[in-house]
Amino acid sequence: MSVLESLAVVLGGALALNLVAGVLVLDTAGLRRVPTRAREAAPYLGFLVGILAVNKVARDYGPEVSWIIGKNITGFIYSLEGGFVAIVQSIATPALTAYFSGVYLFGYVFLLTFPFVAYATWADEPALERAAVAFGVNYAVGLGCYVVFISYGPRNLIPDLVDPLLYATYPRAQLVTSQVNANTNVFPSLHTSLAVTVGGLAWQTREAFPRWTVIAVPLAVSVAVSTMYLGIHWATDVVAGTLLGVGSIVVANRVTE
C-alpha cells in the first residue's frame, strides 16, 4: 500500500466518523448557516491556514535547524519519569492495541475536523473563531518547541522496555505518520494538546452541543492515553501538551472576546 493509499484510508475513516457525528449532533437548520458563518470567521480561519502553511514548510526544514540551535532533552525527560510508559504498556492486549491505534489514527483526525463543521452551524457564539485561534496557537507553539527542543520518544530511546505497538501491529501506519512528523518532534505532544483543546472547547459549548461533548471529551482522553500506550510519547510530553491545550483555549477566549 502506497503513502497516498494509506492517507486515503485514514481520511476515509475520519470522514465516516464525521458523517456519523453529523447525523447525531447537527440539525438541518444549522447547516444552512455554514456559508455565512464561514465568511464571518474568515479572518480567524485565514490565521489558522497561514499557521498551517508555515508549519508545513517548517516541518521540512525544522529538524535540520533544530540540530543546529536546539537542545536535546531526551535524557532529561527519561531521568524524570524512567519507565513510566513501559508501565502503561504493561496492560497491553490485542483489543486495547486495536482501540488505541484506531483512536490515534482515525479518532484524532476526526477530532481535528468535526469542530469546524459543528461550530460553523452555530450563530450565537464565536465558537468557530475560538477553534481557529486555539488550533493556530497549538501549531505555532508546538512548531517553536520542535525547533528548540530535540527529543526522541520512548520507543526510540528504550526499545528494550517500550514496544512500538502501533507500527508493530500496523506497519503501514508509519507511512502516514512519517509524512507529518519526525522522530525528534515529541515535546510537547501535539496529539494531546489538540485533543485537549477540542475537549475543552466541547465542554464550553456543552449546552448547545451536548452530544458532541459526550463524544469529544472521552475521545480526547483516549487520544492522550494512546500516545503513551503506543510508545510514541513520554508522560512529560502529554503533560506539556495538556498545558498547551488549556493555554490555547485561554488565549482563544481572550482574542474572540
Decide if 127 contacts 201 (C-beta within 8 A).
Answer: yes
Cell 456559508 sits at which residue?
35
Cell 473563531 sits at which residue?
129
Domain ranges of the chain: 3-256
CA 99 to chain centroid: 17
> What is the value of pTM for the model shown?
0.91
The Cα–Cα gap between 177 and 222 comes to: 18
Secondary element (H or E) of residue 71: strand 71-72
Strand partners, 150: 72
pLDDT, one tens digit per residue, over 32-81 is: 888 888 898 999 999 999 998 888 777 766 667 777 777 889 999 999 99
The Cα–Cα gap between 224 and 235 comes to: 9
pLDDT, one tens digit per residue, over 210-225 is: 999 999 999 999 999 9
The Cα–Cα gap between 255 and 251 comes to: 6
How many CB atoms sit inside 10 A of residue 19's CB?
Answer: 11
Higher per-residue pLDDT: 31 or 180: 31
CA 146 to chain centroid: 15
Length of the chain (residues): 257
Secondary element (H or E) of residue 149: strand 149-150
Residue 186 pLDDT class (50, 70, 90 cuts) = confident
